Amino acid sequence: MEISPRIKFLIKSGLRGVAWLLVLMAIYLFFKKVVVSNNLDAWIEHFYARPEIIYLIYFASEFIFGIIPPEFFMIWALHKGGTLHYFFNVGFFAIVSYAMGYLTFLIGKFLFRLATFRYIRIKYMKNLWPQVRKYGLFLIIVAALTPVPWAAVSLLVGSAGFPSRKYLVVALFRLLRFAVYGYIIFQTHQI
């Protein structure tokens, strides 16, 4: 019996994915066993003693497609100080996330003006762009409220030529996410 090319691709990609998952699990287990379990207090102290590193990582993560979920930073802030300190940090994280989303949106708008990007968009993404233009506001709301990469969606919507004012208004849903998630984390992770 002949296996279709789609099934072959699915099996090949699935095996590659499992292999990468095993590699990542091995790295995680090694790191946990050797670094964290042998010297847990010193490991944690590095993060709590130097908050500027955490803030820098957060800025980078929010700019580079939201690599690290903001909830991890909220948990860090909860264990770093008292209640007031936590809510100050959640507000700070929310404002930074909103601002970084707008920055990536502006980068997308800049790309929209470039002739090379227009050529790439017409040549390779001609079916995607009408959908982005049609559902762009919905995409912003979904990315603002869910773990969908916020900066990536902001860049995409900006590169589709969306008006800045509409983006800024709809992007306020991002602040709502931080308020709700921040409250949930505060209620579920109290010491």
Using the predicted structure, report yes or no on whether residue 14 has a pLDDT greater than 70.
Answer: no
Lowest mean pLDDT among 52-61, 68-77, 126-135: 126-135
pTM above 0.75, yes or no: no
How many Cβ atoms are within 10 Å of 157's Cβ, its own excluded?
27
Chain segment 26-68, per-residue pLDDT in tens: 776 776 676 656 665 565 566 667 788 888 889 988 888 777 7
Using the predicted structure, report yes or no on whether residue 188 has a pLDDT greater than 60.
Answer: yes
Confidence of residue 191 (pLDDT cuts 50, 70, 90): low
Chain segment 156-169, per-residue pLDDT in tens: 888 888 889 999 99
Rounded to an integer, the average pLDDT of 78-100 is 90
Domain coordinates of the chain in residue numbers? 1-38, 49-188
